Structure 1
């Protein structure tokens, strides 16, 4: 089973911080976009950022 760790907090705040400073985590935003685009967890692509 894939690792489902997630960053806590509001994804919109993470996104705004990333846009304004260029610093932050892209994972929460990516997760939310994928969740909305594909509700079925089994069909979502696995995205790994290193």
Structure 2
């Protein structure tokens, strides 16, 4: 099972997505988490995401 390590910053995920689309950067952990959740809704089957 793969593991992913991120630093977490709080905030609105929609604003982070817009910032990513417009400026090419943003809050990668929350966008990655949402993408993984949509790709694999069963948390037991998805990768372990560690955020600190």
Q: What TM-score bracket applies, with the shorter chain setting the length?
A: 0.5 to 0.7
**Structure with more relative contact order (C-alpha pairs < 8 Å, separation 6 or more):** 2
TM-score after normalising by structure 1: 0.58
Larger relative helix fraction:
1
Q: TM-score, normalised by structure 2?
A: 0.57
Spell out structure 1 runs of 4+ moving beyond 2 A: 2-7, 45-48
**Root-mean-square deviation (CA), in Å?**
2.9
* More strand per residue: 2
Gaps of 5+ in 2: none
Structure 1 unaligned runs (5+)? none
Paired positions, count: 47
